[in-house]
Amino acid sequence: MIAIIDYKAGNTASIQNALERLGVKSIITSNIEEIEKADGVIFPGQGRAGQAMDNLRKMGIDKIIPKIKKPFLGICVGMQLLSEYSQEDDTECLSVLPGKCVKFAPPAKTPQIGWNQVKLAKKSALTENIEDNSCFYFANSYYFDADKKYIVGTTDYGIDFPSIVEKDNYFAIQFHPEKSGSVGAKLLNNFCKLC
């Protein structure tokens, strides 16, 4: 069973639908016990970092995310909140992964919306059988400026920014796999195989 964290900032239903198409059982929950009991955890996100962190703190979920030992996948804002700090709303984040989130600088138009390539920097179980330079669907104005040793994949949007990072049992992606067709489904399936 995969727990999809519900903290009023994620596109939880579309993630659950994507997992159902893969034949994977999941639960959308903000219950700490259910999150801790799950075989794996998905942490999706849309919206602003400040409000998302406020919601996590009100629910007490901010305390458990850094302690989870099961496979964990942060998506979009869920990726960014794993960082130490976000420039968006001057937000202290969860400090699971070293680095901070910064806004794309001009002349890059924000938000970046649409398909873009991911260049794979190193092997990962998350990207098994996914071709280098595969396209995924992005919607972001900020990016996670992560420590190089954790970067699995990068994307060019005026600069090369980290779009897949990995540390221990924590995986994080800037794009939306549930909106990325067959290649996104393959990545989600790879994650579920780890759980």
Instruction: Give, for all 195 residues of the chain, the pLDDT tens digit.
Output: 999 999 987 789 999 999 999 999 999 999 999 999 999 999 998 889 999 999 999 999 999 999 999 999 999 999 999 999 999 999 999 999 999 999 999 999 999 999 999 999 999 999 999 999 999 999 999 999 999 999 999 999 999 999 999 999 999 999 999 999 999 999 999 999 999
Give the model's pLDDT for residue 47: 84
Residue type, 191: F
Give the model's pLDDT for residue 11: 83
Give the model's pLDDT for residue 151: 98
* Whether 73 contacts 40, CB under 8 Å: yes
Structural domains in the chain, CATH included, are: 2-194 (3.40.50.880)
- Structure letter (DSSP) for residue 161: E
Proportion of the chain in helix, strand, coil states, percent, rounded to 5:
35, 35, 35
Give the model's pLDDT for residue 46: 84
Distance, in Å, from the CA atom of 136 to the CA atom of 6, rounded to the nearest integer, reads: 23
β-strands 40-43, 26-29 pairing: unpaired
User: Given CA atoms 186, 179, 152, 82 in this order, what sign does their dihedral have?
Assistant: negative
What positions carry a catalytic annotation? 76, 176, 178
Distance, in Å, from the CA atom of 94 to the CA atom of 64, rounded to the nearest integer, reads: 10
Number of neighbours of residue 107 by Cβ within 10 angstroms: 6
